[in-house]
Structure 1
Amino acid sequence: MEGSIVMEESEKQSCKPHCSDAWFELEMELPSGTEPFQLEQAVCSHGFFMMPPNHWNPLSKTLTRPLHIHNLSSSSTLLVSLSQRPRSLAVRVHGVHFLSPQQQRHITAQVSRMLRLSETEEKAVREFKSVHSDHPNRSFGGRVFRSPTLFEDMVKCILLCNCQWPRTLSMAQALCELQYELQNELPCAAVGSGNSKVETEGFVPRTPASKETRRSKVSTKSMLLKKKLELEVDVHGNLQMDHMLASSSDPTLLPTDHGDSEVLRSDDSCYQFPDEGEYFDRTGNFPSPVELTNLDESFLAKRCRLGYRAGYIIELAQAIVEGKIQLEQLEELSKDASLSCYKQLDDQLKQIKGFGPFTRANVLMCLGYYHVIPWDSETVRHLKQVHSRNTTSKTIERDLQEIYGKYEPYQFLAFWSEIWHFYETRFGKMNEMRSSDYKRITASNMRSTVKTANKRKRPSRKC
């Protein structure tokens, strides 16, 4: 739980001879439960861990990403990497010699939120495992990975709507690239501030959105990452990674739907953790409300390929900055995940433009409510394919209740444990997957061979 966090500070120098950057390390006490805490299980438990700026290294089992020092300020962003020790969690903050006690608390609070280390979440994990003992899933431990801030969760829930998974990943990547430009006051970001009508053609995401034409050239950044990986592998004794992803050699894996996703390239992934220099040379943190509030909607839509989502995101950011939406109040209401507060929270979210049933249910899941299962076309597919149900949008809530109602109030965790197992059966262990293969997780790759012969339909989500 958050109150049991133990912080041990140490000012050290990077052990690599070619890197003189200092780092500052905190140590967090791990939850004490019936089963030992596993970082890889806590991180690789939801698609959010695949979304930038999160970077999971399957070799070192390390999560690296930037974190804001202040909730809304863009002035202080630090690169942080998480790794597990036998009895603690090591939180390494790169590029600093010292952190004040207040800064340390702010960093560890964000880490605790991402990994759901609170006493309430620990209680939910224990109770879920108790009611779900008939269907244990060793790869899913009951913790669902989320973002360090509620704002990032809310925006990412918007990015889940009405698109394939590759497009969602692309939009998140573009937002983090934009944050880097805003933080460093680069010209391409400056054109988005105010109402200046400046040509934005050159300021599109480096990773194109889905349905874009396939890339004919490999970016310089990708080539550098590939070269750096080769050097790193040589240094560590010619490590072999062919075994890491079952889907890369699994003959049963269905072909990627190039009509709805990007071309996958093996050199798009980055394994350099915590020294992943090139990736974070051009990829920043997830944007804060302050950074987004003054952007022009058309610029943001085009720069990050957000489409209609750009307006929702900017309005959300503005409402937070102006105090119309109090994120701390929402977090406080959900602190104990009391069902009596659920309707109040849902009603508040309903007032926010762009937050339909699917998006709200996802946000509330991020806040710790597991009795409602957010459903969309992927949920319908799963019930048809795994449970042989003739599910439609009219019958899905009844079907979900019949299948998962016995796990109340943890219906979502039971559903998610099942669907996560399905994904890993089809694509391989998520904690071993290369980041370049995340985009293989598409609806077309989850359908049976017979069903893929039918005409593909666009996903339908009640956003």
Structure 2
Amino acid sequence: MKIEVSRPVGQRAAHKIIRDVRHMFRLDDDLQEFYRLMMGDPEFAWIAAQGAGRLLRSPTVFEDLVKMICTTNCSWALTEKMVSGLVNELGTAADDGRKSFPSAAAMDTPSAEFYRDKIRAGYRSPYLKELAQRVASGELDVESWLTTGASLADLMKQIKSVKGVGDYAAENLLKLIGRYDGLALDSWTRAQFAKARNRGRVASDKKILRYYARFDSWRGLALWCDMTHDWLDPQNVAKW
């Protein structure tokens, strides 16, 4: 992997860039247990063979959490519009003009009305303002979720204490911090499961959970790899 920067950087900045890239690409995640489990099932052995399962994430939990809130109850196009708006309006510009995702402090500066009128965040507007305020003030340390020893139930409770975060958003965020117990079912994954595993028929959430239950604490990652298997088809990869 080669990292290109827009200008020369010092040792401290270079260290941070490398750390962030390793975090984003999950280069230090230990998936050996997951791969051993996948190798034990002929239909899932391809995951271990291809080294799949390292889900791309943002440099910070805060960024992933904000983006997750922006995926709920809306189309992907609207999600992209909201996130692009946050970057364009509040992000810090680099030498080449591109902007970074805003920090909690930057997002705490404008009012909830800004998020409603400028970002078009709708009902999420006060939630984004409150989240930024809690994180910027130090009241809520979302980065600690990466290393916490809290039980799954306690961690889910902490994540869902953030307004705008329900089971779907919380379980998706869990995958990005290395906890794969939840399935994070939505309309897309339910439709994919029906097509791939249930002969085109709609399946209940309980049935989907039973199907992946054999993978225990890795079931969420197994489901995601299973539902996105065709993304790795060479013809689909060529379209990226």
- For the superposition of Structure 1 and Structure 2, which TM-score range results when normalised by the shorter chain? 0.7 to 0.9
Change (3 A) 1:99 1:358: same
Q: Which residue of 1 aligns with 2:225?
A: 417
Q: Which residue of 2 aligns with 1:442?
A: none
How far apart are residue 421 of structure 1 and its match?
2.2
Q: Which residue of 1 aligns with 2:86?
A: 175
Q: Distance in 1 between matches of 2:187 and 2:144?
A: 32
Matched, 1:121 2:33: no
Matched, 1:433 2:239: yes
Q: Distance in 2 between matches of 1:125 and 1:113?
A: 19
Q: TM-score, normalised by structure 1?
A: 0.47
Q: Which residue of 1 aligns with 2:159?
A: 349
Q: Which residue of 1 aligns with 2:22?
A: 112
Change (3 A) 1:343 1:295: same
1:385 is matched with which residue: 195, 212, 221? 195
Q: Distance in 1 between matches of 2:213 and 2:135?
A: 36
Higher strand share: 1
Q: Secondary structure at the match of 2:3?
A: strand
Matched, 1:153 2:64: yes
**Between the two proteins, what is the percent identity of the paired residues?**
24
Q: Distance in 1 between matches of 2:239 and 2:116?
A: 30
Maintained 8 Å contact 1:132/1:407 = no
Higher helix share: 2
Maintained 8 Å contact 1:293/1:314 = yes
- 1:348-383 residue CA offsets vs partner (Å, 9 max, x unmatched): 112111111111111111111112100111222122
Q: Which residue of 2 aligns with 1:311?
A: 126
Q: Distance in 2 between matches of 1:127 and 1:371?
A: 17
1:406 is matched with which residue: 182, 196, 214? 214
- 1:97-116 residue CA offsets vs partner (Å, 9 max, x unmatched): x413x333322221111111
Q: TM-score, normalised by structure 2?
A: 0.86
Q: Which amino acid aligns with 1:296?
A: S
Change (3 A) 1:126 1:421: closer
**Higher RCO, Cα 8 Å, sep 6+:** 1
2:139 is matched with which residue: 321, 324, 338? 324
> How many aligned positions are there?
236
- 1:1-57 residue CA offsets vs partner (Å, 9 max, x unmatched): xxxxxxxxxxxxxxxxxxxxxxxxxxxxxxxxxxxxxxxxxxxxxxxxxxxxxxxxx
Maintained 8 Å contact 2:159/2:170 = yes
Q: Which amino acid aligns with 1:352?
A: V
Change (3 A) 1:412 1:107: same
Alignment of structure 1 residues 34-433 onto 2, 5 Å: 84=1, 90-96=2-8, 98-100=9-11, 102-118=12-28, 120-124=29-33, 126-135=35-44, 136-137=46-47, 141-180=52-91, 183=92, 281=97, 283-333=98-148, 341-386=151-196, 387-388=198-199, 390-391=201-202, 395-396=204-205, 398-423=206-231, 428-429=235-236, 431-433=237-239
Q: Distance in 2 between matches of 1:125 and 1:91?
A: 29
Maintained 8 Å contact 1:361/1:374 = yes
Change (3 A) 1:166 1:329: same
How far apart are residue 126 of structure 1 and its match?
3.4
Q: Distance in 2 between matches of 1:380 and 1:341?
A: 27
Give the number of the structure whose alpha-carbon radius of gyration is greater: 1
Q: Secondary structure at the match of 1:156?
A: helix
Q: Distance in 2 between matches of 1:409 and 1:167?
A: 32
- 1:265-290 residue CA offsets vs partner (Å, 9 max, x unmatched): xxxxxxxxxxxx9xx63x41111101
Q: Distance in 2 between matches of 1:412 and 1:428?
A: 26
Maintained 8 Å contact 1:159/1:171 = yes
Q: Distance in 2 between matches of 1:152 and 1:109?
A: 16
Q: Secondary structure at the match of 1:333?
A: coil
Q: Which amino acid aligns with 1:401?
A: L
Change (3 A) 1:384 1:311: same
Q: Secondary structure at the match of 2:190?
A: helix
Change (3 A) 1:410 1:389: farther
Change (3 A) 1:99 1:154: same
Change (3 A) 1:167 1:328: closer
Q: Which amino acid aligns with 1:432?
A: A
Change (3 A) 1:134 1:306: same
